[in-house]
Structure 1
């Protein structure tokens, strides 16, 4: 009798910083049958560290070390782990450590190669510590830029998804003055284009997109700022509108996010990090998801940090990781 092929996508879950909450939220998420109903989860990390985390949270899951995805069973009750064996027993929780940063880099590197080789379909990342990453000699602002380098992608965008709100960023991990300098019509257009293409792929016919201004009240016709909206944003919006896209802006950020949450827009384009991050985190930090747009591989992530203050205590919430896995499944290429 012919066996029906398993069409669930294989999602590589990187363990993140071993001294943070990544190991425990991964085990909590993998205890949920609904996760296995939608995907084949495969942790890329350290089996020993996951077992330690399992002891902290009283997990009944078995942790099974594998070397390749082909060895994994993908059965609820057992966490399959591509085991890199980098973290020694008793490694501290709650501290910034170079070894944790080095391991976090290696996990994401291995997961990227698995997807590129067709052995996994998407990547879902637990949080890493930028400070630990830098201490290990990897000078990246975060996952987004690291993945862009690993995949030789010249330009990517960060999209945050929370209940009732989606936000894509024109600039991210740079200072505010540098962000304003970097914003220019070509970049704004490319970010809108990437965000729109992602929503179209997800089933939106002609997504409604609201574009933030830079200054208070989006400059209010030159009253605030030095003409940044007219110089940097309006040409890109007009180019989008000429293509028949439902793009509006620049709009005052203080009301645009309210309108988007109300349902007026499917996507908000934020000009800089805090302009986009703050509203999303107010809407739902525990359920927020970070998606890197423009990579040749699908990557989603929790929208929170390593939480060193509670790491190792077994109390971290896995809600954002479960949401990130759902987004990874929705964006992953179809199998079968």
Structure 2
């Protein structure tokens, strides 16, 4: 195939379907999901910033997770909606690079942040009396800053490596600029690129996963030392939301990126990508609010203030 790397100025996003009726339906679905995502995450951030009962490390991390989800969804969803209703399915080379860079940076940052939240839960359960001092605002800020720094350093590396590949086509068989469809367009993927790719994915996904699993082993051990059954259930319930979010997020990532190449199909993975990029940012606020009494009480308090005013 003719190498197009130096002449490609834009890519074409194939999306899901060319049926106009289905495209309109998908536009409405994505619009509703994006509205719910924006409203849900903003409300959660406002509650955490304004209610003094939520001034703890746990809610500080949840607030940053909502910020990441809000930003992450905004990187993708508006362009997806525009592609659904527009005849122009193109995205510029620079636009594709920017979308790839920010999406990778935010995704990797969320991986680190979820690992940090697992450590926070371990400290809360194993050392409840020292939790406030152990997870001080200063340490929490450092951990969040480290999550962002690690995520965007890795994103810079993988973005620079990916967009210096030689492409043999300009049609991305997906609805956004993601790693698998871009690599599929490459004329030749060298072993050096594969090594960088595996290193980035291992350091940003596998390492946090191992850290989270280790944290939960220590959490389980700490819970088993609690004498009362009620105390054990209460301690474990504080981890339920985080464990649910971790399972959904890491499960989706591992499904897409860590499988044998023989089982890889873009069509099937488009739906998993939708879940990661559009659904997860919408679901996370529900996970951390519906089962959390403090958040629900803060929401009721804010609602009552609005009514009075």
Structure ranking higher in strand proportion: 1
Task: Give TM-score, length-normalised by structure 2.
Answer: 0.27
Structure ranking higher in helix proportion: 2
